[in-house]
Amino acid sequence: HQPRLANQGTVFLDEIGEMSPYLQAKLLRFLNDGSFRRVGGDREVKVNVRILSATHRDLEKMVSEGTFREDLFYRLNVLNVEVPPLRERGQDILLLARYFMQQAC
């Protein structure tokens, strides 16, 4: 069963700030009990996974505007790592270029 492949693993959710209120509620339910129903499925599947999420949006602002669930925000915001855009880290461009050139050669 495919969902069990993620069991004891990590799930990465990109652009979490783009989720609809409906999906936010579904994700919060999943975070609370670890179970979900597959599309077309007739029973609940339970998994134990670590969630990593990313967004370019200001989720705190979205919470205050009412467009992102506050309870979901606090469930996801356990460890917050802010990475400045590459344009603000000019010294990293040369390091990254060298790394990718070594990988390609």
Distance separating the N- and C-terminal Cα atoms of the chain: 39
pLDDT of residue 4: 55
pLDDT of residue 102: 95
Vertex 18 angle, CA 58 and 27, to 5° = 105
Taking the model in full, what pTM does it have?
A: 0.73
Q: What are the pLDDT digits (tens) for 66-89? A: 999 999 999 999 998 888 889 999
Q: Please tell me the distance from the alpha carbon of residue 71 to that of residue 80, in angstroms, as a whole number.
A: 16
The more confidently predicted of residues 39 and 16 is 16
Q: What are the pLDDT digits (tens) for 29-66? A: 999 998 887 778 888 888 888 999 999 999 999 999 99
Q: Please tell me the distance from the alpha carbon of residue 67 to that of residue 98, in angstroms, as a whole number.
A: 41
Q: Please tell me the distance from the alpha carbon of residue 61 to that of residue 41, in angstroms, as a whole number.
A: 36
pLDDT of residue 61: 97
DSSP, collapsed to helix, strand or coil, labels residue 8 as coil
Within 8 A by CB and 6+ apart from 25, the residues are 69
Q: Please tell me the distance from the alpha carbon of residue 9 to that of residue 56, in angstroms, as a whole number.
A: 24
